[in-house]
Amino acid sequence: MIRPCATLLLATAVLCAVDDEAPPVGMDIVPLIKAAADAMTPKAQPLPGRPWSDDLAALTDTDPAVNGPAVGRLARRGAVVLPDLAILAGERDWQLRGRIVRVAAGIGGAEGAELTLRLSRDSDARVRRLAIVGLGRCRGDTVLARLLELVVSLDADERSAAAGSLSAMGDVRAIEPLTRLRGDPDGPSRSAQASALRSLCAMERAAGTIAGLLGSLAGEQRRALLEALEGCVDVRLCPALIRLCDEQEALTALLAVRALATAGDARAVGPLARLAASERRPELRETAATTLHALTPYRARAGKAWALWWDENSAHYARLAERDTLIAQLADLDVPIPAGLAGFTPDELLPLIDAALVTRVVPSWLPPRALAALRAQAGERWVQPLAQLIDTAPDGETRLDLVLLLDEIGGPAATGELKRQQELLSKREEAALEKWKTDGVIPPDMGAERALLAIALRHR
């Protein structure tokens, strides 16, 4: 029969005798005893059919160095561990239940949803909040319903956490409930909901939902939605925003006009010109004029000058409106690349260059589609327009982007232009070196441009 105490003492004596002397006075021998105990105590074998039983045991340990890795290992095993975790979730230790939340949420999806949902109703507020955050990694209608319930909870922290999880979940059905954020009395919670609303509105599949809501919502809800759109507008939303420019409620119209400033849609030019020339409130008219400055080269302030300008330019912008109707189709991932874009001149299609190179704020999925639209056209028609842009580029980084695009879409016709750019680069390098000698101005590094041009020419 093994006598644990005697065994430990014997093991300690053996360890201490390694240097033929006892441990120095004051030496902490507890680690030695623990090591001896670990060495002498046989490991419990995992239960049959449960190879993660050691990790379940580690999960109950209070030492983060032990329970932390166990959380990761259990989560990687997936849904098979969830029944055992559901049993452990009945323990009184709230920290253990919190670790169980981390495993269930780490598994996530539809599999981890049930246990995470259960713990989102835990008696301990700390566990509940962990579970609410974890729900953002889970999926399913019941998860969405629970988060929508929590976003109007009496607890402001729970409302904030639920808003973040709605954003992480990425379900556009949460957009309408989040537009009610102005009724929240807590500032941080309102901010969290506004952030979640902006995140959901920036998703590719949100356009249809938003367009419908802009027509059906009113008052504070619609204004909250418009504020979420400001800064980066999906071009597919422009028709709905244009309709709001005539809204009698001035603040709603003002927010719609501001949102149009970043969309770059020629379809908005006529309505905005009429608004800038109207007799409506000065702030609204001036905002319309400022938005027009972003969409046209005309620089008049609000007033009748815009009516005169529109009379002269309406036919030109009608054609650009046709172009932007096609670009709006380009923004829809479910629609084939519109063939009608090839009917416009390269100058008229410069917005595709801007989108492909991300020279302005555009939705994240638009640049690859813009590049695909450029590839679908005859490459030689782009050589001269891109050459002009490279020649007038303000810096080397912009030239690099444009040369990459020329190499990508120019085809064989780009070879001569790439050689010309190589010669121009040599001249720029010589001029920069001369400026350094005469004025002491350190020349910029043009090595990346030279390497890119050499590679582009070599693979031709």
pLDDT digits (tens, 9 = 90+) for 441-450: 999 999 999 9
Residue 157 has pLDDT above 90, yes or no: yes
Q: To the nearest whole number, what is the mean pLDDT of the chain?
A: 90
Q: Tell me the average pLDDT across 5-23.
A: 37
Q: Looking at residue 43, what is its pLDDT?
A: 46
Q: Tell me the average pLDDT across 417-424.
A: 96
Q: Looking at residue 239, what is its pLDDT?
A: 96
Residue 41 has pLDDT above 60, yes or no: no
Q: Tell me the average pLDDT across 116-142.
A: 98
Residue 213 has pLDDT above 90, yes or no: yes
Q: Tell me the average pLDDT across 27-48.
A: 44
Residue 2 has pLDDT above 70, yes or no: no
Residue 305 has pLDDT above 70, yes or no: yes
Q: Looking at residue 50, what is its pLDDT?
A: 87
57-97 pLDDT, tens digit each? 999 999 999 999 999 999 999 999 999 999 999 999 999 99
Residue 338 has pLDDT above 50, yes or no: yes
Residue 313 has pLDDT above 50, yes or no: yes
Alpha-carbon distances of 147 from 113, 153, 173, 238, 317, rounded to whole Å:
12, 10, 12, 31, 45
Residue 18 has pLDDT above 70, yes or no: no
* Confidence at 26, pLDDT banded by 50, 70, 90: very low
Q: Looking at residue 42, what is its pLDDT?
A: 45
Q: Where are the domains of the chain?
A: 4-40, 53-139, 378-458
Alpha-carbon distances of 170 from 58, 108, 109, 196, 290, rounded to whole Å:
34, 14, 13, 9, 34
Q: Looking at residue 107, what is its pLDDT?
A: 98
* Confidence at 21, pLDDT banded by 50, 70, 90: very low
Q: Looking at residue 48, what is its pLDDT?
A: 60
Residue 29 has pLDDT above 60, yes or no: no
Q: Tell me the average pLDDT across 377-394.
A: 95
Q: Looking at residue 9, what is its pLDDT?
A: 34
Q: Looking at residue 459, what is its pLDDT?
A: 85
Residue 302 has pLDDT above 60, yes or no: yes
Q: Looking at residue 179, what is its pLDDT?
A: 98
Residue 44 has pLDDT above 90, yes or no: no
Q: Looking at residue 108, what is its pLDDT?
A: 98
Q: What pTM, to 2 d.p., does this model score?
A: 0.82
Q: Tell me the average pLDDT across 419-443.
A: 93
Q: Looking at residue 175, what is its pLDDT?
A: 98
